[in-house]
Structure 1
Amino acid sequence: MKTLYTAALIGSISALALTSAIAQTAPAQDDPALKIYRETTPKYSDLVHTKLDVRFDYKKRYMYGKEWVTLKPHFYPTDSLSLDAKGMDLKTIAIVKNGKNVPLKFTYDSLVVKIQLDRTYRNNESYTVYIDYTAKPNEFKAQGSMAITDAKGLYFINPDGTEKDKPTQIWTQGETEGSSVWFPTIDKPNQKTTDEISMTVPAKYVTLSNGRLASQKVNGDGTRTDTWKMELPHSPYLFMMAVGDFKITKDTWKGKEVSYYLEPKYAPYARDIFGFTPEVMEFYSKTLGVDYPWNKYSQIVVRDYVSGAMENTSATLHGDYVQATKRELLDDYYGQGRSTIVHELFHQWFGDYVTAESWSNLTVNESFADFSETLWAEHKYGKDAGDAHIQDDRQNYLSQPNLRTKDLVRFHYHDKEDMFDAVTYQKGGSILYMLRNYLGNAAFYKGLNIYLKSNAFKNGEAHQLRLALEEASGRDLTWFFNQWYFGAGHPILNITYKWDDATKTQTVYMNQTQDGDAFILPIAIDVYAGGKMERKKFWVRSKTDSLVFHSAVKPSLVNVDGDKMLLAKKTDNKTLEEYVFQYFNAPLYLDRFEAITAAAKKQTDAGARKVIIAAINDKYWELRIKAIKAADLTNDNVRNDAQPVLVKLVQTDPNTLVRAAAITSLGKLKASGMANLFKEALKSESYAVEGAALAALAQIEPANAMSLAKTYEKGSNGALKDAILTTYATSGSDEQWAYVYNGFKEGQPQTQFNLMRNYADMIGRLKNNAYALEGVNSIIDFGNKYKKYGVGPQVVQILNGVKEARQKAGDTASVNAIDKAVPDLSAK
């Protein structure tokens, strides 16, 4: 599963950072649930085959199902069976004997059905239980999480067709244990079963499920029955169904069907969105030494999805954020869409082919999928892109201090959903990145190959991964797994340096200041001296360690962690002069990133300015953007050097996001001489460039920008739409209200965060009190939705500002609405 909560909730309302707010929402350490040992679910019975025959009641939001589930005792003889079955009506439960259904006794508490079998069965015997049932997902209340907003398993989207511009769809979401809302099963990851699913649906609709489409039968009542068969075992949470008006675009990889299911209006862009999938399948298959293991690979995009995406076996389901036109994709270099596509594909090996045996060991699913995003980035876009991606992962994890106490593999948690966090994803991916560097590519991927082949169509855990990597490399890895997989936290390093000219000795002091034991760190130190670079390798084993070596001359730079692999919070006490040298001589993305960060703080220094100006033309586009944003154009020396470079970037840089950043930077100068440059940029096909140009123009020609915004309303999207909203919210009046209000209500959290202050100011100056009340209520709705992340006080502050303006306008309805909402939003 790919979770989008971090991306969706990164933003700011004034000084509000929701990632920090999220970090404060962890369960208290005295939570009794944290004291429960979450053992791997015992296996009394094994699923063998699951056959379903289902049809849907769109009006009631019910699913009528018939199931034939074949099982056998795992080891010990048994005369009973327990199945997860959440919120269902169970009509008949019977044992199938010689083609006949013989009723069985059972008890049911709305979550688990306990069945008394007709006799005792041994583990060399299988039996089939027949169940006639009704699934009622909308009547089942399940707690969601930050990864999954709810967990009712089966979703009816616009089933009555009453929501304008929204298609009618049905789809499922199994992870973690939502499949048992739509069919009785042993809903645990350590179960595996083959399956056959027959769906009877309106004939106008398309269906998708796991495996192959075995048959289609047209019925006489306007319906059609599609039967899908998955003939290789997989876990129940990976079962899926989808029904709706989708257009299918077909591709192939080594003779296997690769297909893309999209809403009709996006079907022309199917290959633009998903067309690189066969290339990724080939790369992952070669890298792992295991060909893509399933008979087909489909990707489907649905509305109102409750997470980012889900790696259902052979049939990944995506949220509609991946749907985009060719034009919209111009600005997506390796954004959420493409990274999610490769993330879910890697799960077909790590998660589906070999599945975590428990949620405690979720790392063997999600850490690998997270790591795969970096793996593809460096393969497809180059090492800088891979290094940038993994650095984002590190910072995502390191920015959440509440996570320091959580082990990667953990058997104590409040709820299984809590496992879907930045420890399992970003920290786990960063740990794999370090492990690959330590072992070397060949041994690392050989170890993954052993792990996959040894556990094919079964379950795995971190210990099996360790053993496979040890077998491949011949190295003991217990120390690594103990501290990174079965321990918590990360090193907090303070690095200082001392050069002794008399003895020609360089000392590096490594001080680990985190609580608890020292981390064992194999570390590379690159020494730049006398025009040469020499790498020295050390092991840091103590919380205070000194690394000493000789050099003929004083080094120009001592670059600790030369490979830039460590997952650590570092304070590196280099001089600015050393950072300047580092930018121009050390080769890696993070070398240059660190130097730009240091230079940005001291732009009165000539060396720092030299770094900033050079970095505006860095070979890697994200560093160009970083330098552009860092450049202090209020400093005359910086502005004189940077301005012509920025103008050139606007006109010639091949990366649209760099061009947009350059326009934004130049716009802050509010120089009328730039107007023609911005107007020319408004002709770009890139929404990012257009949006930046409109926003920049609004700062020097606000009336002209207002007029131009009107002409761009139709068909605007992404950054351009955000710029129109900001322009209107800043300078507009009642005439523009409907556009701004709808844009805010329909916007993603990031859009709402970015617009919030200007939006509130606009509400304050509206003449129409009814419009103002709409706006006030939309801010209140936002506050209530995200209150659990700690945004209440900031929203209250914004509302109080609106209240003051509305009081002056004599708008009692808006003032009363604010007064009513503030106590709840202020409450903890």
Structure 2
Amino acid sequence: MNMKRILLLSFFSLSATLGFTQRDKQPGVSPVYRATAERINDLVHTKLDAKFDYQKQQLNGKTWITLKPHFYPTDSLRLDAKGMDIHEVAVVKGVKNNSLKYDYDGLFLNVHLDKTYRNTEPYTIYISYTAKPNEFKAKGSAAITDAKGLYFINPLGEDKEKPTQIWTQGETEATSVWIPTIDKPNQKTTDEFYLTVPAKYVSLSNGKLVSQKTNSDGTRTDYWKMDQPHSPYLFFIGIGDYAVIKDSYKGKEVSYYVEKEYAPVARRIFGNTPEMIALFSKLTGVDYPWVKYSQIVGRDYVSGAMENTTATLHGEGAQQDARELSERNRWEDVIAHELFHQWFGDYVTTESWSNITLNESFATLGSQLWNEFHYGKDAGNEERYNSAKGYLGSHSENKNLVRFYYNDKEDVFDAVSYNKGGAILQMLRKFVGDSAFFKSLNLYLNTYKYKNAEAQQLRLAFEDVTGKDLNWFFNQWYYGSGNPKLNITYGYDAASKQATVIVEQQQEGDKIFTLPASVDVWTGNTPTRYNVWVKAKVDTFYFPASSKPSFVNFDADKILLADKTENKSLDDYAFQYNHAGNYVDRREAIDAATKKQAEVGGVQIMLAAVKDNYAPLRAYAISNLDMSLAQVKNAAEAPLAEAAKDANRRVKAAAIGKLGQYKFAKYAPLFKAAVNDSSYSVAGAALEALNKVDTTAAFDAAKQLVKGKVKGRLETATKNIMSARDKGAALKLLSDYEAMPFGQKKFQALSGVFELISATPDTEIFKKGVDAILGLETALPENIRGQVMPQIYTALREVQKEKTENGLTEQVNYLNSKLPKDNKSGF
């Protein structure tokens, strides 16, 4: 599942020979060791006959569950069955059902079997039941905000703006809200689902659609069959009025279930899927293992997306119109992430939630691989860099990657399991080399296919292929916590003709990391590569150099997951930008120059970056230009005017936004033309810029634009411009924001509220806006509140600075009364 990263915002000592014991638990974390679930009975096959009561929002089900004892003989069976009405429990004997005694407490169904069964004796249990998901209350997580398993969306059609849908969400253990099962990841079963649905709707489930039968009561029964075993949390049912667009991969169906409005652009959203399947099949050496691959979009989804076997569910954010897609497909990383799960998570599944890294870290890697191999190394490195930065800013230093201690299983879905785990896999890939890395993944997948694994088994696969002992790596990164904090200094000794690099580990505590690292020593424009090992609190490395090097670059591949302090001059960063070449090299140089735009060298780096070959870096550099500095403003005008013609919409929007800060009437024609751009971002930036030079023209344009569809930056711009002239519109913007349920849309709308409070001189509106923003705190899941709120406080402090400069004392004082006195930024 992907954060799941959508709501996380990109979040979230050991024995040398026994890396299994996690001793560095966080304060307040349960001391209970989270063992892999004991297997007394094993699922073999699950058959379901389901009918849906839209009025009551219930599922009336009959299920036949075939099991066998795992090893020891047993005369009992415990099933997870949450919040159900159990009508009958029986053992199937030929064509007869023999009733069984059972105990049920609303969570567990304990069945007294008719005899003692041995592990050579499979048996089938029949259960008639009613699932009542709305009556079952369960805690969600930062990644998965609800856990009632089965969701009826607008079941009676009362909301004319929303379709009627049913979808399920199983991870972590919510499948057992709608079907009795052994709801643990180390169980695997084949299944067949008979779904009786309104005939006007389509259905989707795991496996293949075998048949459809039209019934006389206006319903249809769809028979879905899954012949390959998978875990219960990956069971899926989806029902609704969808358009189904079909592609294929090597004769297998690849299909996209979207609301009919989005049928014309479905291939622009999901159409790279067959190519993704081909890439992941090639890299892993395991051809796509399932019978089909479908993707469906669900309204009001409780997460970002979920990798149900052969049937991935996406949140409604996946559905973008043509204007949004003209900028980029913002959902493509999620699509790749969920697809890679079909190998890592579905084909081979974590044996316990403690080992969720085997699912989520790999899926994080998967989207990085897609970007790297499809769009180029800059794109892959950009996603890798942003992901690692998300971990480094998440304050998760005390959490192990493999986590045997936690308060709730939902807690493991965080920036450690996703972001950090993905970065660790990239470091392992660099250390062993691509050939060995992907061959090791192939061995791991083939060894444990249709089974479960833990991180030690991943280690053994890598050791088998490479011949290397990797306990040091896994003990440090998988069974340990934190990351190195490195202070790096460079020098040159003319007498000994040696360049030096001193690396000091400054992380808290006595833990020292072992880090293989690359160092490039540049003579003129030519680098010489050296490979070193950082192993001590302070390491000094010496490199031969007949004269002072033009540049020395530690961690030349920019692969280490570390907080690094680089003691480089602005000249060093200029050389790094112009010669080192890696996306991260250039990004670091831009960041360094951003802080020193008062210096000529800083401006030169920024202006060079405005013309970078990689469009996202061009947009990033433009967005970081400090237009309050005269030398920047004077030097940047011509490059910005050129960038405003850029074919890349992100670059064009950034450039137009900066041009607006000149407040030059000569750019009004450019802004007026661009408000009708096909990109919402460009149109929004142009409308904001036009408002700076001609408020009447901007207001008139906004009134026309809101008659059509406005989204994203254009929606924010139109609302803010109209609100500035209409207090009623401003108050409605705030009331609409407050009424929004917690989720992705609310986060997206947050920038508009910030824009409003920044611009308004009206103290009443300002106070209501501040209250609306701070009200987000109570809606945030507890385990990310401490990460997100410091960032909001920091942004409000910036607003406060602007208000102080404008002499709006009452607004300044109000913020002072609302903000915590010990405000610290989350990043």
TM-score by length of 1: 0.91
* Counterpart-to-counterpart distance in 1, 2:766 and 2:593: 46
Contact 1:145 1:418 in 2 (8 A): yes
Letter in 2 for 1:677: L
Structure 1 segment 747-766 matched on structure 2, within 5 A = 748-759=745-756, 765=762
* Counterpart-to-counterpart distance in 2, 1:512 and 1:775: 44
Equivalent residue for 2:461, pick from 441, 461, 468: 468
Matched, 1:549 2:543: yes
Displacement of 1:672: 2.2
Structure 1 segment 372-383 matched on structure 2, within 5 A = 372-383=366-377
Instruction: Sort the Cα spacing of 1:775 and 1:125 in 2 relative to 1 into closer, same or farther, 3 A.
Output: same
Instruction: Sort the Cα spacing of 1:71 and 1:519 in 2 relative to 1 into closer, same or farther, 3 A.
Output: same
SS of 1:417's partner is: helix
Contact 2:753 2:769 in 1 (8 A): no
Name the structure 1 match of 2:627.
633
* Counterpart-to-counterpart distance in 1, 2:377 and 2:757: 43
Greater CA drift, 719-728 or 426-435: 719-728
* Counterpart-to-counterpart distance in 2, 1:172 and 1:58: 15
Letter in 1 for 2:339: L
Displacement of 1:698: 1.1
Name the structure 2 match of 1:504.
497
Displacement of 1:680: 2.3
* Counterpart-to-counterpart distance in 1, 2:35 and 2:227: 30
SS of 2:780's partner is: helix
Name the structure 2 match of 1:486.
479
Matched, 1:404 2:400: no
Equivalent residue for 2:228, pick from 229, 232, 238: 232
Equivalent residue for 2:383, pick from 389, 397, 410: 389
Matched, 1:36 2:32: yes
SS of 2:344's partner is: coil
Instruction: Sort the Cα spacing of 1:4 and 1:354 in 2 relative to 1 into closer, same or farther, 3 A.
Output: closer
Displacement of 1:478: 1.1
Name the structure 1 match of 2:449.
456
Q: Deviations over 1:38-69 (max 9, x none)?
A: 00001111000000001011111111100100
SS of 2:68's partner is: strand
Displacement of 1:437: 0.9
SS of 1:625's partner is: helix
* Counterpart-to-counterpart distance in 2, 1:822 and 1:374: 40
Displacement of 1:496: 0.9
Matched, 1:271 2:264: no
Name the structure 2 match of 1:427.
420
Name the structure 2 match of 1:812.
none
* Counterpart-to-counterpart distance in 2, 1:356 and 1:306: 22
* Counterpart-to-counterpart distance in 1, 2:608 and 2:789: 43
* Counterpart-to-counterpart distance in 2, 1:98 and 1:763: 76
* Counterpart-to-counterpart distance in 2, 1:232 and 1:532: 54
Count of residues in Structure 1 that have an aligned counterpart in Structure 2: 786
Instruction: Sort the Cα spacing of 1:490 and 1:777 in 2 relative to 1 into closer, same or farther, 3 A.
Output: closer
* Counterpart-to-counterpart distance in 2, 1:663 and 1:776: 28
Name the structure 1 match of 2:682.
689
Aligned-pair identity in percent equals 51
* Counterpart-to-counterpart distance in 1, 2:767 and 2:558: 52
* Counterpart-to-counterpart distance in 1, 2:794 and 2:436: 55
Instruction: Sort the Cα spacing of 1:160 and 1:28 in 2 relative to 1 into closer, same or farther, 3 A.
Output: farther
Name the structure 2 match of 1:201.
197
Name the structure 2 match of 1:298.
294
Q: Deviations over 1:421-468 (max 9, x none)?
A: 000000000111111111111110000000000001011111111111
Q: Deviations over 1:370-396 (max 9, x none)?
A: 001110001111101111100001100
Letter in 1 for 2:750: F
Name the structure 2 match of 1:354.
348
Contact 1:722 1:751 in 2 (8 A): no
Contact 2:7 2:142 in 1 (8 A): no
* Counterpart-to-counterpart distance in 2, 1:598 and 1:300: 43
Contact 2:43 2:182 in 1 (8 A): yes
* Counterpart-to-counterpart distance in 2, 1:773 and 1:519: 48
Name the structure 2 match of 1:807.
none
Matched, 1:311 2:307: yes
Name the structure 1 match of 2:3.
3
* Counterpart-to-counterpart distance in 2, 1:613 and 1:772: 37
Name the structure 2 match of 1:289.
285
Name the structure 2 match of 1:810.
none
Displacement of 1:757: 3.9
* Counterpart-to-counterpart distance in 2, 1:75 and 1:311: 31
Displacement of 1:626: 2.0
Letter in 1 for 2:55: K
Displacement of 1:109: 1.0
* Counterpart-to-counterpart distance in 2, 1:630 and 1:777: 29
Name the structure 1 match of 2:73.
77
Contact 1:763 1:775 in 2 (8 A): no
* Counterpart-to-counterpart distance in 2, 1:91 and 1:765: 62
Instruction: Sort the Cα spacing of 1:478 and 1:761 in 2 relative to 1 into closer, same or farther, 3 A.
Output: closer
* Counterpart-to-counterpart distance in 1, 2:598 and 2:794: 40
Matched, 1:477 2:474: no
Contact 1:728 1:740 in 2 (8 A): no
Name the structure 2 match of 1:722.
716
* Counterpart-to-counterpart distance in 2, 1:88 and 1:623: 53
Name the structure 1 match of 2:808.
none
Structure 1: stretches of 5+ with no match in the other structure: 11-17, 20-26, 803-817
Displacement of 1:822: 9.0
Contact 1:745 1:778 in 2 (8 A): no
Letter in 1 for 2:157: G
Name the structure 2 match of 1:128.
124
Structure 1 segment 441-452 matched on structure 2, within 5 A = 441-452=434-445
Structure 2: stretches of 5+ with no match in the other structure: 13-23, 801-813, 823-827
Matched, 1:90 2:86: yes
TM-score by length of 2: 0.91
Contact 1:650 1:662 in 2 (8 A): yes
SS of 1:229's partner is: strand
Matched, 1:598 2:592: yes
Instruction: Sort the Cα spacing of 1:693 and 1:4 in 2 relative to 1 into closer, same or farther, 3 A.
Output: farther
Displacement of 1:6: 5.7
Instruction: Sort the Cα spacing of 1:9 and 1:362 in 2 relative to 1 into closer, same or farther, 3 A.
Output: closer
Contact 1:763 1:776 in 2 (8 A): no
* Counterpart-to-counterpart distance in 2, 1:137 and 1:354: 29
Q: Deviations over 1:137-173 (max 9, x none)?
A: 0000000000111100000111111112101111100
Matched, 1:535 2:532: no
Name the structure 1 match of 2:606.
612
Letter in 2 for 1:510: V
